Structure 1
C-alpha cells in the first residue's frame, strides 16, 4: 500500500509541476497577481509530494520489500541498514527520484525565502523550476518508474554493487546532486530575467547566494567522490579524468566563474550578457552530466548502465532546455546594455581574467570528454583521451590564473594600481621563493617544476592572508585595533580569503603527493619486511573475517619507523557473498598530513601476497583544502548582504490599511 501511495504521490507531483510551470508564468506575463501567486503553494506542494514518494521508496528498502523491482535489483535483507538507505539512490531510478526531490526543495526554498524578490520575478523563477520539475517527473514516471512491482516476489534481492557499499556513497551523491541541481536556480533566474527583460545589479545580488550555495555543495560532493575513489577502488589515485568525474568538474568551473562574474555585475553593472550566459551554461553542463551518466554512452564505475532509450529522452530534455534558453538569450542579448566601464588593471579586470581562464579550462575538459564520444558516433572509430591530454591543456591554463588570484582582492574597483598590490604581496612572494630555494637545496634540480608548484601553493596561501592583513592593518596598528577591524570585516570578504586559502592548500597537496610520492610493489610472505621511505612494513599474518554480507581475508602489517612500531595496518581482499564479487579494501594510515597507503593483490598458494604500498606526502591537503574552500563559501553566505538581497519596496500605507 505504501508503495502505491509513493507512486500516486509521484503522479500528483507531476500534475502539480505542470500547474507550477504554466499558471505563475502566465500570471507574471499578464501582470495578474492572483495567478502569479499560485506558484508559491504549488512549489511547496510539489516538494511535499516528491518527499512523500521518496519516503515510500526508502521504506520499501528498509523493510526489504522484494515485490518492488528496484529493491530486488539493488538490495538484500542482510545488507547493513546504512547501505539499505544509501541503496535508495545507488541506482538509476532512485537517484533520479533524489534528483527531483532536491529540485523541488530548491523551488520550495525560493517560494519560502524569496520574499525580497519582486513578485513577478519570483513567479517566473518558480515557474521555470516547474518546467524542469515537470520534465524530469514525466521522465521518471514513463521511463524510470522506481515503484514497478514484481509478481511473484522473489525471496531475496540481488544486493547492491559491492563497490557502492561504502559510507562515501551515503554522502557523495546527495552532496553532488545538491550542487548539480542547485545550479538550476541560477538557470531559472536567468530565464526569468530574459523573459521579464530586467537584468540589473539587484538580479546579480539575488543570483549570487543561490549559486554560492550550489558551489559549496558541488565542491564538497566532488571532494567526497574523489576521496571515496581513492580509498575504495584500491588504486591509490584521487583523480582519473574519468568522463563522469569531468562531468562534475565542468559545472563547478562554470559556477566558479559565475560567482565572480556576478560580483562584477552587482558592483559595477558590467558583464551582464556574460553573467546571464554563465548562469545558463552552469546548469546546462549539469544536465550534460546527467545525460552522460544515464545514457549508456559511457562505461565507468560512476555511470549507471541504463537503457539507451532513457538516454534519448534525457537528450531531448537537454536539447529543449539548453536550446530553448540559448535561443531566448540570443533574442534578448541585443537589448542588454554593456554596463560600467573599467580599466584592464582593476578588480573588474582581474575577475574578467578569472572568467576567461576558467571558461577556457572548462572548454578543454568539455572537448576532451566529448570528442571521443562524438568521433565514435560519427565514424565508429574509438579513441581514448586520458590524463596526458588534460594535464597538458588544463594545467597550463590554471597556472596563470592561480598566479593572478592574490592580486584580485587587492586591486581597486574601476582602476587599480598593480604596483601597489604587488607591494602588499612582497611577503607572499618572498615565502614562495623561499620554499623553492629550500626545496632546491634539499632535492636538487631534478624536480624544479614540482618545487615551483609548491611555491605557487605557498603564494596562494600567504597571498590570501596578506589581503586580510592589509585590511586590518596587521603590524601597522595596535593589536586591539587590528582585532576590531577583523571583527568588522564583511563576512563575504573573509569568505573570499578562506576560499583562496583552501585553493592554495589543495595545490600543495596535489603537487606534493604527485611529485614526491614513493611506491613499492612487493610479493611478501608472513614474517618478511618491505621498506619504503622512512617506513618498514612487516607482514605478520592473515586474519579471516566476516561481515553482515561479506567474507574477507585481511593481511596484518606492523609498520615501523626508526625501529618503533607506529601503526598496524590491515588491508583486505573481500568477497560479497550474494554477488560473489571481490573487492580490494585498502588500509590507510595518516601521519600528520602524509598518508601511508597499502592495498593487496592476489595471494599465491604458498602464502605469498602482492602488496602495493604508497607514501603520499601532504595528500590530505587535497581534501582539507576542499573543505576550507567550502567553509569560505559558507562564510560568504552568512554575510547579511547576501542573505537579505535587495530590499523589497514598501507598500503604500493606504493600500496596506485597505488590506
Structure 2
C-alpha cells in the first residue's frame, strides 16, 4: 500500500506541476498578483508530494520489499543498511526519482528564500521550473515507474552492483545530482528574464547564489567520483576521460564561465545576452549528461538504462527544453540593451577571454564525447576518442586561461593597464620561471616530459599570483600594521575567489606530477618477496581469506620499509561479492605530502597457483594529495563566496520596471 501511495503522489505532483507551470505564468503576463502567488504554494505542495514518493521508495528498500521490481533488481537482505538506502539511487528509476526530488527541492528553496524577488520574475522562474518537472515526471510515470509490482515476489533480491557498494558511491550521485539540477535554477531565471525582457545587475545578484551553490555541489560530486575511482577500481588513476566523466565536466566548465560572466553583469551591466546563453547551455549540458547515462548509448558503470524507448523520450525532452530555449533566446535576446561598454584590456575583457576559453574547452570535450557515437550511428565504423585526444586538445586551451586567472583580479574595471599589472607581477613571473627551470633540472632534462616543467611553472604563477593579489588588496608591504585589519575587512567573495584560484594551483601540481612521474611495478610476487618502487621496499608477508557482510575477500598483508625502517603496513583486498557475483579490487593507499604509495593484490599466478605467488601492482603517484586538497579548496572557496553578505541580504531594489519587451 505504501508503494501505491508513492505512485499516486507522483501523479498528483504532475497535476500540481501543470498548475504551477501555467497559472503563475499567465498571471505574470496579465499582471494579476493572485495568479502569480499560486507559484509559491504549488512549489511547496509539489515538493511534499514528490518527497512522499521518494520516502515510499526508501521504505521499500529499507524493509526489503521484493514485490517491487526496482527493489528486487537492486537490493538484497544481506546488504548493509547504508547500501540498502544507497540502492535507491543506484539504478535508473530510483536515480530519476532522486533527480525530480532535488528539482522540487530547489523550487521550494526559491519559494522560501526568494522573498525579495520581484513577483513577476519569481512567478515566471517557478513556472519554468515546473515545466522541467513536468517533463521528468512524465518520463518517470510513462517509462520508468519505480513502483512497478511483481506478480510473484521472490524470496530475495538480485543485489546492488558491487562497484556501487562503497561509501564514495553512496554519496557521490546525490551530490552530483544536486549540482546538475541546481543549474536548473539559473536556467529558469534566464528564461524568466527573456520572458520579462529585462536583465540587469539585480537579476545577476539573484542568479549568482543559486549558480554558485550548484557549482560547489557539482565540484564536490566530480571530486568524490574521482576519489572513488582512484581507490576502488585499482588502476591507479583518477580520471580517464570516460564519456560519463565528460558528461559531468561539461556543465562544470560552462557553469564556471556562467559564474564569472554573472559577475560582469552585476558589476558593469555588460555581457547580458552572453550570460543568458551560458545559463541555457549549462543546463543543456546537464540534460545531455542525463541522456548519455539513461539512453543506453553508453556502456559504463555509471550508465543505468538500456531501453531504447527511454533514450528516445529523454532525447525528445532534451530537444524540447534546449531547442525551445534557444529559439526564445534568438527572438528575445536582440531586444535587450547592450549595457556597459569596456575596453578589451580590462577586468571585463579578461573575464570574457576566460569565458571563451572555458566554452571552447567544453565544446572540445563535447566533440570528443559525441563524435564516436555519431560516427557509429552514421555507419562510419567504430571510432575511439580517448585520453590522447583530450590531453592534446583540451589541456593546451586551459594554459592561457590559467595565465589570465592570475592577471584578471589585478585589472581595473572598464579600462585596465596591462603593462602596470605585468610590472606588479614581474617577481611572480621570475619565480615561476625559476620553478619551471628547477623542475626541468631535477627531472634530468630530457629524462622526463617537457610539460612537467611547464605545469609546475604554471602552478607557481597562479598560486603566487593569487598571494600577490591578496598582498596588494591588504597593502601588506605598504602598511603592514594595518594589513591584518584590511584582511578581515575583505568581502567573503574576495576570499572565496582567492581560495578557489589557489586550490586550482594545487590541483595543477597534483595533475602534473601524477601524470609525469608515476612509477608502476606489475609482477607475480611470492610471500616473503620484496619489490622496490620509488625507493620503498614493499614485502608481501601473508595472504588470508576474510569474510565481509556480503562478500569473501583475499586480503594481502604488505610491509613497507624505507632505508631499513618499517614505515607502513598495507592490506589491499580482492573481493568476490555473492549477490550479484562479481569481483572487485580494493586498493591500499598510504598518502604523504610527496605522493601516494598504492598497492593492489590480484589473483594467484595462473601458471603456478598460490604457491607461485600473486599478481600484484604497485604504484607511486606523486603529489596526488595536492590534487584532492585543491578540490577541497575549490569547494571551500565557493562556500565562502556563497556566505558573502550581499547574498544574504539579497539584491538591490529594482527601479520601476518598464513594460515587457
Q: TM-score range by the shorter chain?
A: over 0.9
Q: Is the 8 A contact 1:79 1:549 kept in 2?
A: yes
Partner of 1:559: 560
How big is each residue's C-alpha offset from its partner over 1:602-637, in whole Å with a ceiling of 9 and x where there is no partner? 212124111111101111111211110111111111
Q: Does 1:610 align with 2:615?
A: yes
Q: Is the 8 A contact 2:500 2:633 kept in 1?
A: yes
Change beyond 3 A, Cα 1:149–1:380: farther
Deviation at 1:358, TM superposition (A): 0.4
Deviation at 1:539, TM superposition (A): 0.6
Alignment of 1:300-311 (within 5 A): 300-311=300-311
How big is each residue's C-alpha offset from its partner over 1:27-69, in whole Å with a ceiling of 9 and x where there is no partner? 1111111011000000011111111111111111111111111
Tell me the SS of whatever aligns to 2:186. Answer: helix
Q: Which runs of 5+ in 1 are unaligned?
A: 652-659
Deviation at 1:600, TM superposition (A): 2.3
Q: Does 1:228 align with 2:233?
A: no
Q: Does 1:165 align with 2:165?
A: yes
Supply the distance in 1 between the matched residues of 2:109 and 2:580 (Cα, whole angstroms): 42
How big is each residue's C-alpha offset from its partner over 1:387-408, in whole Å with a ceiling of 9 and x where there is no partner? 1111111011001111111100
Deviation at 1:645, TM superposition (A): 2.9
Q: Is the 8 A contact 2:520 2:619 kept in 1?
A: yes
1:644 aligned residue (638, 641, 649): 649
Deviation at 1:475, TM superposition (A): 2.6
Tell me the SS of whatever aligns to 2:342. Answer: coil
Supply the distance in 1 between the matched residues of 2:549 and 2:496 (Cα, whole angstroms): 44
Partner of 1:657: none
How big is each residue's C-alpha offset from its partner over 1:427-479, in whole Å with a ceiling of 9 and x where there is no partner? 32233123223223322212332012111111111111111110001132133
Q: Which runs of 5+ in 2 are unaligned?
A: 657-661
Of stretches 598-607 and 550-559 in structure 1, the one that deviates more from structure 2 is 598-607
Q: Does 1:431 align with 2:436?
A: no
Supply the distance in 1 between the matched residues of 2:183 and 2:246 (Cα, whole angstroms): 17
Q: Does 1:622 align with 2:627?
A: yes
Alignment of 1:101-120 (within 5 A): 101-120=101-120
Partner of 1:495: 496
Partner of 1:390: 390
Partner of 2:473: 471
Supply the distance in 2 between the matched residues of 1:634 and 1:110 (Cα, whole angstroms): 18
Q: Is the 8 A contact 1:424 1:470 kept in 2?
A: no
Supply the distance in 2 between the matched residues of 1:210 and 1:537 (Cα, whole angstroms): 49
How big is each residue's C-alpha offset from its partner over 1:71-100, in whole Å with a ceiling of 9 and x where there is no partner? 100000010011111111000000000000
Deviation at 1:379, TM superposition (A): 1.9
Partner of 1:371: 371
Supply the distance in 2 between the matched residues of 1:644 and 1:410 (Cα, whole angstroms): 27
Deviation at 1:337, TM superposition (A): 2.0
Q: Is the 8 A contact 1:427 1:462 kept in 2?
A: no
Supply the distance in 2 between the matched residues of 1:475 and 1:307 (Cα, whole angstroms): 64
Of stretches 607-616 and 637-646 in structure 1, the one that deviates more from structure 2 is 637-646
Partner of 2:636: 631
Supply the distance in 1 between the matched residues of 2:258 and 2:443 (Cα, whole angstroms): 41
Supply the distance in 2 between the matched residues of 1:158 and 1:325 (Cα, whole angstroms): 42
Supply the distance in 2 between the matched residues of 1:650 and 1:399 (Cα, whole angstroms): 42
Q: Is the 8 A contact 1:365 1:390 kept in 2?
A: yes
Partner of 1:454: 456
Deviation at 1:650, TM superposition (A): 11
How big is each residue's C-alpha offset from its partner over 1:543-573, in whole Å with a ceiling of 9 and x where there is no partner? 2101110000111110111111111111111
Deviation at 1:318, TM superposition (A): 0.5
Supply the distance in 2 between the matched residues of 1:559 and 1:344 (Cα, whole angstroms): 56
Q: Is the 8 A contact 1:116 1:644 kept in 2?
A: no
How big is each residue's C-alpha offset from its partner over 1:106-147, in whole Å with a ceiling of 9 and x where there is no partner? 011111111111000000000000000111011101110111
Supply the distance in 2 between the matched residues of 1:104 and 1:644 (Cα, whole angstroms): 24
Partner of 2:63: 63
Of stretches 592-601 and 351-360 in structure 1, the one that deviates more from structure 2 is 592-601
Q: Is the 8 A contact 1:116 1:647 kept in 2?
A: no
TM normalised by structure 2 equals: 0.97
Partner of 1:37: 37
Supply the distance in 1 between the matched residues of 2:623 and 2:429 (Cα, whole angstroms): 22
Supply the distance in 2 between the matched residues of 1:281 and 1:242 (Cα, whole angstroms): 21
Q: Is the 8 A contact 1:209 1:643 kept in 2?
A: no
Q: Does 1:208 align with 2:213?
A: no
How big is each residue's C-alpha offset from its partner over 1:471-498, in whole Å with a ceiling of 9 and x where there is no partner? 001132133x101100111111111101
Partner of 2:533: 532
- Equivalent pairs counted in the alignment come to 650
Supply the distance in 2 between the matched residues of 1:15 and 1:23 (Cα, whole angstroms): 12
Deviation at 1:209, TM superposition (A): 1.1
Supply the distance in 2 between the matched residues of 1:97 and 1:578 (Cα, whole angstroms): 24
Q: Is the 8 A contact 2:499 2:637 kept in 1?
A: yes
Deviation at 1:269, TM superposition (A): 1.1
Tell me the SS of whatever aligns to 1:536. Answer: strand
Alignment of 1:202-601 (within 5 A): 202-446=202-446, 447=448, 448-479=450-481, 481-601=482-602
Partner of 1:655: none
Q: Is the 8 A contact 2:202 2:653 kept in 1?
A: no
Supply the distance in 1 between the matched residues of 2:442 and 2:371 (Cα, whole angstroms): 43
Q: Is the 8 A contact 2:593 2:626 kept in 1?
A: no
Tell me the SS of whatever aligns to 1:608. Answer: strand
Q: Is the 8 A contact 2:202 2:654 kept in 1?
A: no
TM normalised by structure 1 equals: 0.97
Supply the distance in 1 between the matched residues of 2:392 and 2:288 (Cα, whole angstroms): 24
Supply the distance in 2 between the matched residues of 1:218 and 1:240 (Cα, whole angstroms): 18
Deviation at 1:648, TM superposition (A): 4.4
Q: Is the 8 A contact 1:215 1:256 kept in 2?
A: yes
Supply the distance in 2 between the matched residues of 1:351 and 1:649 (Cα, whole angstroms): 26
Supply the distance in 2 between the matched residues of 1:478 and 1:186 (Cα, whole angstroms): 42
Tell me the SS of whatever aligns to 2:314. Answer: helix
Supply the distance in 2 between the matched residues of 1:81 and 1:231 (Cα, whole angstroms): 22
Supply the distance in 1 between the matched residues of 2:7 and 2:64 (Cα, whole angstroms): 17
